[in-house]
């Protein structure tokens, strides 16, 4: 690999993706970027491995002060790790030859975090961005993680912790209480600063006093299994690991790989009041498979999850299509929704298609993932793609054609809505997670004016704090943005009563519209305090709604009754 430092072009307007690999990063190699922080221009570097796709995890590495970026990439093994694990690698460097360890370089590292989410030259997502500090870069990574804990998904360091961190940590208090952070420290010297840092992270992670060892660590501190501050999307998983090195960041390649194996286990997701931590659900480890087909000149892919009980059975089972949000991927929605767990419990097959692409803005690359997007002036027919996925699954598996359902988050929720309009002959019910009433034309979001041509079971789950679709000040009973509410009312008027039954449970408020036969055709669930997000519990709620509906010979049935 040529590691000559390059600069991104001023415009990506003339760059087009490969139709066979449209989600691949459009650049490869080592690039220098600039950011403004605290009235100064600072540099950082990004290494883009070959065949890197959008929406993959990111390692932000704070280099030692005396390190050359190119030499460090070669000697640290990061190029090999990036290629094997499909990682974006960021190299953060100090200003004027040395790191500031009193907290000011935390602003620089956090500015890097914000910059790399800009979608100008590559597509990253917030869920899986991790920090590693090497040598005197160790102290600032912990300071950055402490200063912006709800964004980083984990931090690791190999090097001495500087005394200045003691005063810095006294300034870090969070009104909503502790924030989980997986931490791994390789310490050549144990001192007052490292003891103070350990105590800080122990408090954040609510670890027990009991210690363990193993997996390359001398000491492991685990979170308490008792958690009285229950949150629907948060799991107490953040360990702290310590290992003692004989010298400053010895055996760097081995250490970084050990860090990565630890860090990649968890990811941070949006939750009530803050971002939460959950174990990462890797589709490969769960036995899901990837398939592809060519449609309109583009290679389209999807993941398929088949529970063992279904794989070994001979009966026809339901099929659930699960669609990701803008900038996301099949593997991310597999993780976010935990739909595989619901498939195991209820006995259905789940598929996770990958969206088309579009150019998000004049300065962005042209392959931002989006349903019903466009490329080179040509719109993607994602309804045709989803129909093809269903057809392929029916050819390959024993699918109950009367029980095919669709759901999705954000842009994927809007795609579920679109399928309700354009494919209501195929789907018996849809569930939209934080997305409804919007269609995309040439990649531009527009309020919609269409309704299904036939009745379809419909559920919308949306957060009261969802700034993309909710509006608590709006003049409608749902607390939805005006265009979304109008689209919902068109569906309500098409096949149910405009009056609704209402009830609340566990921070969720339901409005249920029934038709003249008492069949609940449209349900709106508003989740208190929830932002623009999707939670694993929604997968179970969606399927419990789905399984009441079936479509036989084009006619919709509810619990065996013809709608």
63-76 pLDDT tens trace: 999 999 999 999 99
C-alpha 22/C-alpha 19 separation (Å) is: 5
Please report the pLDDT score of residue 249 as a whole number: 67
Does residue 480 sit in the same domain as residue 516?
yes
Cβ-based neighbours of 397, under 8 Å, separated by 6 or more? 306, 317, 319, 349
Does residue 488 sit in the same domain as residue 374?
yes
Does some domain include residue 6?
no
Cβ-based neighbours of 399, under 8 Å, separated by 6 or more? 316, 317, 318, 319, 349, 390, 393
pTM as predicted: 0.94
Does some domain include residue 149?
yes
- Which residues constitute the domain of residue 372? 289-562
258, 279, 300: which is the final residue of a domain? 279
Burial of 263-276, coded b for 16+ CB within 10 Å and e otherwise, reads bbbbbbbbbbebbb
Please report the pLDDT score of residue 167 as a whole number: 86
Does residue 213 sit in the same domain as residue 361?
no
Residue 361 CB burial class (10 angstroms; 0-12, 13-18, ≥19): exposed
Please report the pLDDT score of residue 526 as a whole number: 96
279, 310, 329: which is the final residue of a domain? 279
DSSP helix/strand/coil, 490: helix
Does some domain include residue 4?
no
Does residue 297 sit in the same domain as residue 264?
no
Angle between helices 382-396 and 411-422 (to 10 degrees): 80
Residue 506 CB burial class (10 angstroms; 0-12, 13-18, ≥19): exposed
Does residue 113 sit in the same domain as residue 223?
yes
The low-confidence residues of the chain, meaning pLDDT below 70, are 1, 173-176, 227-231, 247-250, 441-443
DSSP helix/strand/coil, 489: helix
Please report the pLDDT score of residue 214 as a whole number: 84
- Residue 417: give its domain's CATH number: 3.40.50.1820
What's the alpha-carbon Rg for the chain, to the nearest Å?
25
Detail the DSSP E strand segments found in 415-476.
429-433, 438-441, 444-447, 457-463
DSSP string covering 345-401: HHT-EEEEE--EEE--STTS-S-EEETT-EETTEE--HHHHHHHHHHHHHHHS-EEE
Does residue 365 sit in the same domain as residue 385?
yes
Does residue 240 sit in the same domain as residue 269?
yes
Cβ-based neighbours of 357, under 8 Å, separated by 6 or more? 17, 22, 23, 366, 367, 368, 369, 370, 373, 375, 380
Does residue 351 sit in the same domain as residue 458?
yes
Does some domain include residue 12?
no
Detail the DSSP E strand segments found in 410-519.
429-433, 438-441, 444-447, 457-463, 501-505, 508-514
227, 252, 279: which is the final residue of a domain? 279
Does some domain include residue 13?
no
Does some domain include residue 5?
no
> Per residue in 454-493, pLDDT tens?
999 999 999 999 999 999 899 999 999 999 999 999 999 9
Strands 29-37 and 378-379 come out as: unpaired
Does residue 553 sit in the same domain as residue 493?
yes
Does some domain include residue 1?
no
Number of domains making up the chain: 2
C-alpha 412/C-alpha 346 separation (Å) is: 22
Does some domain include residue 15?
no
Does residue 88 sit in the same domain as residue 162?
yes
Does residue 247 sit in the same domain as residue 344?
no
Does residue 324 sit in the same domain as residue 392?
yes
Please report the pLDDT score of residue 99 as a whole number: 95
* Nearest residue to 408 via CA among 310, 317, 332, 512: 332
């Amino acid at each position: 690999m040529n590691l000559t430092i390059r600069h991104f072009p001023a415009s990506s307007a003339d760059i087009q993706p490969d139709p066979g690999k449209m989600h691949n990063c459009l650049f490869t190699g080592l690039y220098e970027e600039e950011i403004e922080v605290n009235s100064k221009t600072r540099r950082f570097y990004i290494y883009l491995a070959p065949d890197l796709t959008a929406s993959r995890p990111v390692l932000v590495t704070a280099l030692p002060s005396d390190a050359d970026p190119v030499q460090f990439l070669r000697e640290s093994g990061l190029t090999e790790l990036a290629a094997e694990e499909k990682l974006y690698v960021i190299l953060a460097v100090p200003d004027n030859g040395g790191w500031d360890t009193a907290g000011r370089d935390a602003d620089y590292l956090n500015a890097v975090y914000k910059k790399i989410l800009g979608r100008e030259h590559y597509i990253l997502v917030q869920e899986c961005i991790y920090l590693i500090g090497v040598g005197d870069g160790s102290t600032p990574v912990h300071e950055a993680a402490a200063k912006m804990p709800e964004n980083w998904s984990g931090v690791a360091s190999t090097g001495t912790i500087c005394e200045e961190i003691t005063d810095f940590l006294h300034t870090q208090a969070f009104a909503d209480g502790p924030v989980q952070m997986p931490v791994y420290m390789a310490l050549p010297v144990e001192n007052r600063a490292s003891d103070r840092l350990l105590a800080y992270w122990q408090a954040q992670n609510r670890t027990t006093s009991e210690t363990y060892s193993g997996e390359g660590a001398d000491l492991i501190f685990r979170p308490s299994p008792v958690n009285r501050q229950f949150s629907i999307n948060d799991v107490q998983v953040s360990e702290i690991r310590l290992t003692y090195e004989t010298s400053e960041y010895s055996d760097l390649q081995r250490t970084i790989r050990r860090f990565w194996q630890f860090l990649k286990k968890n990811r941070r997701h949006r939750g009530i009041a803050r971002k939460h931590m959950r174990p990462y659900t890797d589709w490969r480890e769960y036995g899901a498979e990837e398939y592809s087909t060519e449609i309109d000149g583009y290679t389209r892919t999807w993941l398929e999850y088949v529970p063992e009980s279904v794989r070994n059975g001979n009966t026809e089972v339901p099929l659930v299509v699960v669609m990701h949000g803008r900038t996301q991927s099949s593997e991310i929605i597999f993780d976010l929704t935990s739909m595989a767990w619901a498939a195991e419990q209820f006995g259905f097959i789940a598929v996770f298609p990958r969206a088309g692409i579009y150019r998000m803005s004049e300065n962005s690359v042209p392959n931002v993932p989006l349903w019903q997007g466009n490329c080179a002036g040509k719109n993607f027919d994602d309804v045709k793609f989803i129909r093809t996925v269903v057809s392929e699954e029916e050819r390959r598996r024993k699918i109950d054609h009367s029980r095919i359902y669709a759901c999705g988050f954000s842009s994927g929720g809007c795609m579920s809505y679109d399928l309700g309009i354009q494919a209501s002959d195929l789907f018996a019910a849809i569930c939209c997670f934080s997305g409804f009433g919007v269609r995309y034309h040439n990649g531009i979001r527009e309020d919609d004016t269409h309704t299904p041509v036939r009745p379809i079971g419909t559920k919308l789950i949306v957060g009261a704090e969802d700034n993309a679709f909710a509006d608590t000040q709006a003049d409608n009973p749902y607390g939805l943005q005006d265009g979304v509410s109008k689209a919902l009312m068109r569906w309500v008027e098409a096949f149910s009563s405009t009056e609704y039954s209402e009830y609340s449970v566990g921070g969720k408020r339901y409005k249920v519209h029934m038709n003249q036969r008492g069949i609940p055709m449209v349900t709106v669930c508003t989740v208190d305090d929830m932002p623009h997000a999707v939670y694993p519990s929604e997968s179970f709620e969606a399927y419990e709604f789905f399984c009441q509906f079936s479509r036989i010979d084009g006619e919709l049935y509810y619990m065996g009754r013809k709608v």
